[in-house]
A and B are shown apart, each in its own frame.
Chain A
Amino acid sequence: MKRVSFYALVWLVVLWCLAPFLWQIVTSLKTNAEIAALPVTYIPRHAGLEHYDALFTRKPFARYLLNSFVISGTSTILCVGLSALAAYAVSRLRMRGSRLMLAALVVISLFPPIIFFFPLYEMMRAAGLLNHPLALIIPYTTFNLPFSIIVLATFFRGVPRDIEDAAKVDGLGRLQILWRIILPLSTPALATTAILVFIFAWNEFLFALTFMTNDRAKTITAGIATLSGTTVHETPWGPIAAAVVVSTIPLILLVAIFQRRIVQGLIAGAAKG
């Protein structure tokens, strides 16, 4: 009995969290008339894919997706790569002021990105980078560096020092130790940071909307926002719902793939206990 109520509770929570997304799926499958119809229907009477079709024919939606992939992917790789190097230095090399540096990183990450908005816009304009993927890649990477460094540095510290010493005796240099020993052992942390950075970049809206004015350069979030109905007064609920579904699916796949990596406790067996 206890078990049943426990599972019921779990399912309730899951349903509560997923409800908005499920509603988007349902809406995206309905016809315009049915979306506006009262009373509300929970199961579409005439399910169809015309909204999805519209996305790709009336708007360069594939292009948005591609832009998002390029920008989020590059930001993720850059951010994880740079923060891995920095985190290793902070956690292992005996440097003056490495503690101060970590503290500074925490403070920096407390600033809301919005305060960098105008300076960044001016910088990107001066550099001629507006409408170029770099205009978003650079800020996305930078904003996520503090957090990634902190997460990775914490994890790197947990790798037993003896393993590194053994690697030194076996003949590895510093960078080789990072690449061949530390990083393989840190896949859970790497996967976690990578996912979070990717999601941040994928979902970021404000910079994407303003730095990318050209329709061909837009990312998916900005693209969804610029979907418009046939008149100013009509909000295109159907296409928006379809766009939300399409843009969320890659994230779900990504998390599902990396989830297994995160769960695998690779450190086990390295040392006693």
Chain B
Amino acid sequence: MAKVSLQHVYKIYRGEKGGDVTAVHDVNFEVADREFVVLVGPSGCGKSTTLRMVAGLEQISEGDIYIDELRVNDVAPKDRDIAMVFQNYALYPHMSVYDNLAFGLKLRKFPKAEIKKRVTDAAGILGIEKLLERKPRALSGGQRQRVAVGRAIVRRPKVFLFDEPLSNLDAKMRVQMRAEITKLHQRLQATMIYVTHDQVEAMTMGDRIVVMNNGVVQQIDTPLKLYNEPTNLFVAGFLGSPSMNFVNGTLKIDNGAIEFTELQGGAIKLRLEASEHFREFSGKPVLLGIRPEDIELAQFAATNERSTSSFPAIVDIVEPMGAETNLYLQTGAHTVVCRSQKALEHREAGRRFQFDINLEKAHLFDPATGARIV
């Protein structure tokens, strides 16, 4: 097994008349041996390009990529000892499933018996033993993706690379395959890099997550760290569903306490514990970030005078999810989403309720830089 290290990696597409496009900008991270790292971000953020540079399918414009101690910048994909699973499965349509799995091994001149053993093993792990004689066109999407994963497994590579492998599957299949890939990782104890645009996949699968936007790494951390302590507005807004609420307001220092006031006469007013941190933002605009689950109907909120702050709001839309309810609140200046543990019905829409914000979970962001203040 192996570790992967990216050091100051750039991907620059040279334009015709000096109009260069930097698709990947100074990416640095290290994937430890046996680690499952997820690259996540919106489409066009450079995550796939980064992965393809690790695979050797894209030239590295600047910087270095190491697999173990070997600098692989100029090593061909086949000599990097990696295996890749593609979004479109990329099976060889003219070969049977068995030949698809065996192809890479045949090219590497493995003995026939060994090939057979490995293919049978992989097929067993993935539950595709009965499909070995079929052609890819006779398989369903989920089966094809299993074969694609199998093609990677038989190689027993140092590093597995996944490029949005579940995006073409339907929702149910995606959840199932997600769990299977996680199980596979535990079973194979392999180093894996996984690219997705789906924050749920990122959160559920990754040991660590690399969040990217516009070619720049925003934050690298464990799922819960990212969720609870996002470094900036982008990460805060990208992870979580429904996503974090952002409320425009101003800070004012008052009697040693800090007061947040929502703009344009909105109903949200918070008193936060003072800290030196805030002093420079006194009188300036800030963004309050609060996750839907940290807002609750006041009558059901855990009563903790010190850590909650309440505000009145009209419920615009009620979305009963069964166990919980998504409420779209009108504060006067913003629409804020609240995920209430209380089951409400549609007819509650239009009523005015009192809501509590869990101050311990509230974040403040600097609107100018997007960075988190606290």
What residues of chain A have their CB less than 8 Å away from a CB belonging to chain B? 160, 162-163, 165-172, 181, 184-185, 266-272
B residues in contact with A167, CB < 8 Å: 92
Residue of A163, A168, A171, A181 near B108 (CB, 8 A) is: A171
Nearest chain B CB to A180's CB is how many angstroms away? 9
Q: Determine whether B235 belongs to the interface, using a CB cutoff of 8 Å to chain A.
A: no
Are B92 and A163 interface neighbours, CB within 8 A?
yes
Q: Known A165-B57, A269-B135, A269-B136; judge A170-B86 contact (CB<8 A).
A: no
- Considering only residues 111-167 of chain B, those with a C-beta below 8 Å from chain A are 135-139, 141, 144, 151
Q: Determine whether B77 belongs to the interface, using a CB cutoff of 8 Å to chain A.
A: yes
Q: Determine whether B107 belongs to the interface, using a CB cutoff of 8 Å to chain A.
A: yes
Are A165 and B86 interface neighbours, CB within 8 A?
yes
CA distance A262 to B139 in the complex (A): 22
Residue of A nearest to B78 (CB): A171
Q: Known A162-B88, A171-B107, A272-B88; judge A267-B93 contact (CB<8 A).
A: yes
Are B78 and A271 interface neighbours, CB within 8 A?
no
Q: Known A168-B78, A169-B78, A169-B83; judge A162-B90 contact (CB<8 A).
A: yes
Nearest chain A CB to B79's CB is how many angstroms away? 8
Are A162 and B136 interface neighbours, CB within 8 A?
no
What residues of chain B have their CB less than 8 Å away from a CB belonging to chain A? 52, 55-57, 76-78, 82-84, 86-94, 103-104, 107-108, 135-139, 141, 144, 151, 168
Are A170 and B88 interface neighbours, CB within 8 A?
no
CA distance A269 to B139 in the complex (A): 8
Are B90 and A270 interface neighbours, CB within 8 A?
yes
Residue of B nearest to A160 (CB): B88
CA distance A269 to B145 in the complex (A): 12
Nearest chain B CB to A184's CB is how many angstroms away? 4
A residues in contact with B93, CB < 8 Å: 163, 185, 266-270
Nearest chain B CB to A183's CB is how many angstroms away? 10
Nearest chain A CB to B202's CB is how many angstroms away? 22
A residues in contact with B138, CB < 8 Å: 269
Are A169 and B135 interface neighbours, CB within 8 A?
no
CA distance A162 to B88 in the complex (A): 7
B residues in contact with A267, CB < 8 Å: 93
